[in-house]
Every structure is written in C-alpha cells, then in structure tokens.
A and B are shown apart, each in its own frame.
Chain A
Amino acid sequence: MPKIRVNGLDVHVQRLGHTGDAPRPVVVLIHGLLIDTLASYYFSLGPMLAEEGMDVVMYDLRGHGKTSRPPTGYLLEDFVTDLDELLDALEVDRPVHLVGNSFGGAIAYAMAAAHPERVASVVAIEGEPPARTWQESMYAGLVEGDLVIERVTEWLRENPGERNMRPFRTAGKTLDATTIAQEIPQSRLIDEDLSAIRCPVFAMFGGASVLAAQAGPLEALLADCRTVVLPDRGHSVMVEATRETYTLVRDWLFEQETHALRGAR
C-alpha cells in the first residue's frame, strides 16, 4: 500500500494519471470528516479526471482511512501542514487545484489562505471557509452533545446486520481514541472578510442543504468566485449526483488551465 511519511504520519496516498515525462495539471482531492476516506474519490471523480489528462492526488486525512491516527493534533492547521508537506514529498512544485468535499472544503480554503503560492484554485463541494459560521457549525456538530455520528452508531448497534456499518464503527473509534471532536472547533480561523483567499474559487452546494445560503455571501466577499446550487440535492451532493458534480468540476478545471496557459504565454 502506498504510504508516504509526512509530518510524522504515514499518509496513505493514491495517485492516478501521473506521468513522469509530461507534467499534467495537478488536482488534489480532499475528503470529508469521520465517515469519509479517499475511497469517495477513488471510485468516482478520481479515475474520471485522470482519464481527462489530470494528475490526480488522493490521500486519507490524519485519523481517517489507512493514514495514521495520532491521539491528538486535529486542528485545521495540522491538516494544512500535512497537505503542504505531502506536496513537498510528492515533489509537486507547481500550483495545484484543490477539490474539497465538506470538511475537505474547509481544508482547501485554509490551505489557499496559508500557502497562496501553492494553490491555483479551490473547488469546494458543500464546504465552508474556516470563518466563524464554520466554527459554530463544527462546534454544534462535534461538541454540543447529540452528535449525529453517535446517534447513527447507536442505531446501528440496535439494528445489527444493517449495511455499511463498518465506516460508522471506524468513525466511532476515531471519536473515542482521539481529540478530533474537541480540537476542530478550536482551529485558527481566517478573517470574516475572507480576504486571505485570493485564488479563483468554485463553490458547489446542494439546494436542500443549509449551506446553500452561503452561496450569495461567498460571491460577494471573494474576489474571484463562482457558485452553483444544485436544486433538491443535499449535503451529500457528490454521492447523490456524482455525474453532475464531475462534469462541473471537470469544466471548471479545464477553464482554469486554459487561463493558466494563456497567462503563461
């Protein structure tokens, strides 16, 4: 299994479409929190984007999938350092496109704010920039009791034989064995005016998700931002509408690369 030593962790990485000779646009796909892993991309957007000529990097976040699960160290800035050092380890020296789903979107925004020279664009699928609203929802979801994941784990315990149980058991273990839930809401935030994010941003939302209300404010605040709201889709828009999501992401990436090529001339 391809594991790379990064920031004191063994990080599980899968890369598709990488060719040593002709450099291709690098796209890093960042998955969501707790029940998610790089598999969400590996069996959906990953191979399709590689097929279109992109160099696709997928990795399991710390505490997730096959990457190490340290007991502590789950501030957003830890996730950002992991990504920064992962790019070093992979010897990626050109700006990359970051695609983040849900919590992965927050990591993408935070990375763009902390290392603007490394980020060509951000695609956030149902993801928020790490500002106060994000912090409040992280706090509500992870700290203020009544954790969704705990309710689901409890329900699965009472309904044995139910499908897709293992990801929830794994998530339950991570919650028990680490300080992830306590730490994430304590992460360093970016300024409310989002001025730290200067790269082009494409934000996608499900119309039935509470996050969709952020589309307008995002466009107003960010210098270069496009938003799309997919009607009737929820927070899991990437799973519910994989094809649609893929087409939007692909077209955005193509457009960004055309700009980059023009700019280089």
Chain B
Amino acid sequence: MTTEPTGLEGATRPAAPDEATVLADISAILRTVLEEYGLDDAEITPETSFHDDLELESIDLVTLSAQLREFYGERVNFAAFIADRGLEEIIALTVGDLVGYVVGSLAVAEVG
C-alpha cells in the first residue's frame, strides 16, 4: 500500500491502518468485552469465530459495535454491517471478517 500525496500541505491525517494494527486494536477491544465472562485471556486470531469460539451473545456484539464506533469514529458502522446480513452469516462471522470490514471502511473514508 502506498501513501498518496493529499495535496494538503502540512496535513497530518494518518494513513489508514493495516490489517495487523486493526487486528491488535480489535483484540484489545474484544478483551474488554470478554472480561465480563472471565475470558479475557482467550486467544484471538483472524480465524476466531464470535459465536462458536467466543460464544458472544448479540448484546455483546452491541458493546463491541459501540466501542468500535468510539475508537474509529462514525466511519465504522458495525451495526449497519450486521443489519445487512442474515442470521447464518452473522453466526459464521470471524474476527478476520471484522478486521477486513474495518480496514475497508477506513480506506474508503480516506479516499473519499
């Protein structure tokens, strides 16, 4: 990924974060959600499934979604991302899917 000149002299907007950074951010956020269940030492990889591995309830996904919004801003709208998907798709969601979505949203926001 290359950084395009913005044409704005002195603009300090950081480049969109890469997947490794977003995975680390999301893992940290997930740990705070999992703390409540005493699962904050659970291993989190891109393959980790929200439902089968972490056993998150939908109300936990609300917490996750609200924290993502706080962390990344309005650009990351996880609620809309989920609302567009069917139940089966939501059940199959992995941490990697979310990382991909966040990286994509932030990159689009940067181009726009």
A and B: interacting chains: yes
From A2, A44, A163, A167, give the contact of B83 (CB < 8 A).
Answer: A44
A22 to B82, CA, bound (A): 28
Q: Do the beta carbons of A38 and B61 come within 8 Å of each other? A: no
B27 at the interface (CB under 8 A from A): no
From A44, A66, A163, A165, give the contact of B59 (CB < 8 A).
Answer: A66
A101 to B77, CA, bound (A): 24
A188 at the interface (CB under 8 A from B): no
Q: Are A42 and B51 also in contact (CB < 8 A) when A47-B83, A166-B57 are?
A: no
A40 to B59, CA, bound (A): 8
A20 to B77, CA, bound (A): 20
Q: Are A39 and B83 also in contact (CB < 8 A) when A1-B63, A66-B63 are?
A: no
Instruction: List the A residue with the shortest CB-CB distance to B52.
Output: A163
Task: Write out the residue numbers on chain B whose beta carbons fall within 8 Å of the beta carbon of A121.
Answer: none
A2 to B66, CA, bound (A): 9
Main secondary structure of the interface of B (DSSP, over half): helix
Interface residues of A in 97-141 (CB under 8 A from B): none
Interface residues of A in 137-184 (CB under 8 A from B): 163, 165-167, 170
Q: Are A37 and B59 also in contact (CB < 8 A) when A14-B66, A47-B77, A47-B79 are?
A: yes
Task: Write out the residue numbers on chain B whose beta carbons fall within 8 Å of the beta carbon of A1.
Answer: 63, 66
Instruction: List the A residue with the shortest CB-CB distance to B57.
Output: A166
Instruction: List the B residue with the shortest CB-CB distance to A43.
Output: B82
Q: Are A40 and B77 also in contact (CB < 8 A) when A14-B66, A48-B83, A163-B91 are?
A: no
Closest 10 CB pairs of A and B: A39-B58, A37-B59, A47-B79, A43-B82, A65-B59, A39-B59, A42-B62, A166-B57, A39-B62, A47-B80
- Which A residues form the contact surface with B (CB < 8 A)? 1-2, 14, 16, 37-40, 42-44, 46-48, 51, 60, 65-66, 163, 165-167, 170
- Which B residues form the contact surface with A (CB < 8 A)? 51, 55, 57-59, 61-63, 65-66, 77, 79-80, 82-83, 90-91
